A = this chain, B = another copy of it.
C-alpha cells in the first residue's frame, strides 16, 4: 500500500563535474526523492515524462516499489544540463528544456488521495497547490522549492507555504525568501508564513530544524570529496518523508530522526554521479551511517 506521495519533476540530466561528465541520466526532484523514500515505504509518484522516457528508467522506479499511476505522459521528457565547478556548492544550468513540464496538469489518482504523507518536491508552486487541492488533507505535507520560484513566483509559492506543515530550504533560499542574514532569524520567519516546522539545509554544515518552541541542529556527515551534489537535497526530503511515513508519526523526535535519515541518504547521494548511489543503497548501509551520525554528535 502506498504510504508516501511524492510530487516533483522527472528529468533526463546531463551533468558535468570537475571529475566526471555523464549524459542522459535519470534525474529530477521526484526521481531522487522517490528513490530515497522507497527505502522506507512504498511510494506513489506524481510527475510527468515524455514518450521518449526510457523504459529502463521506468523499470528502475517500479523495481523500487514506486507506483507510477500518477506518472503523466506528455510529448518529451524535461531535460536539464548542468555543470559544477570549484567547490561545487552550486550548479550552473547550461540548458533547460521544460518540455512536458510546461503542459503538466496534475491529476491525483484516487488511490493517492488519502495518502497521509505528501512531499512536494521542487516544481512550479502552481502544480504543488493543485496537488494539495485534490488530496484529502494529508496528515503531513513537506514542501521543497528552489531559488527560481522564490525569485520569480513568490506570490504563488507563498500560497503553498501557507498550507504545508514543514518547509525545507537551503541556506541561500532561506535568506532570500526572508531577507534575514541570520539563519536563526530566517528559520523563525519562515514559521510566520504558515508552517509548524522549517528546515534549513546547510550542506557541509548540516541542517537546522525550527518550530515555535524548539531548535534542532543536525550535524553533517564528514565528506571529503563530493563527486556530484545533484539531487542531494531531493534525497534529503525523500528520506525524511519516507521515514515519517514508515513510523507513521510526526512527533518532534521523529522529525529529528527523519532529518538524520534524510541526511544519511543525501550524503550517500553525493558519492556517485546521478541516482546511482541512492538507487543501490541497502538498508544496512543506511542504518550504519545513521549510527555513525549518532557518534558524530555525542558528548
Let me know if B215 and A217 touch, CB within 8 A: no
Given A86-B181, A202-B205, A204-B183, answer yes or no on A296-B217 (Cβ-Cβ < 8 Å): yes
Let me know if A222 and B184 touch, CB within 8 A: yes
Given A181-B86, A182-B224, answer yes or no on A299-B217 (Cβ-Cβ < 8 Å): no
Q: How far is the CB of A265 from chain B (nearest CB, A)?
A: 15
Let me know if B299 and A184 touch, CB within 8 A: no
Chain B neighbourhood of A226, CB < 8 A: 182
Chain B neighbourhood of A218, CB < 8 A: 297, 299
Chain B neighbourhood of A6, CB < 8 A: none
Given A204-B182, A222-B215, answer yes or no on A298-B188 (Cβ-Cβ < 8 Å): no
Let me know if B299 and A216 touch, CB within 8 A: yes
In the complex, identify which listed stretch (A41-49, A113-121, A160-168, A252-260) lies at the interface while the others stay far away.
Answer: A252-260
Chain B neighbourhood of A260, CB < 8 A: 299
Interfacial residues of chain A within 164-190, with CB under 8 A of chain B in the complex: 181-185, 188
* Chain B proximity mask over A182-204: 1 for CB below 8 Å, otherwise 0: 11110010000000000000101
Decide yes or no whether A87 CB sits under 8 A from chain B. Answer: yes
**By DSSP majority rule, is chain A's interface helix, strand, loop, or mixed?**
mixed
Chain B neighbourhood of A215, CB < 8 A: 222, 296
Let me know if B253 and A216 touch, CB within 8 A: no
Could you tell me the distance between the alpha carbons of A202 and B182 in the complex, rounded to whole angstroms?
A: 14
Given A87-B182, A224-B182, A299-B260, answer yes or no on A217-B216 (Cβ-Cβ < 8 Å): no
Which of these, B182, B214, B297, contacts A216 with CB under 8 Å? B297
Let me know if B256 and A224 touch, CB within 8 A: no
Chain B neighbourhood of A86, CB < 8 A: 181
Chain B neighbourhood of A256, CB < 8 A: 298-299
Chain A interface residues (CB < 8 Å from chain B): 86-87, 181-185, 188, 202, 204-206, 208, 214-220, 222-226, 253, 256-257, 259-260, 294-299
Query: Can you report 23 residue pairs joining A to B where beta carbons are below 8 Å apart?
Result: A182-B204, A182-B223, A182-B224, A183-B204, A184-B222, A184-B223, A188-B224, A205-B206, A206-B206, A206-B217, A208-B222, A214-B295, A215-B296, A216-B296, A216-B298, A216-B299, A217-B220, A217-B296, A218-B299, A219-B219, A219-B297, A256-B299, A257-B299
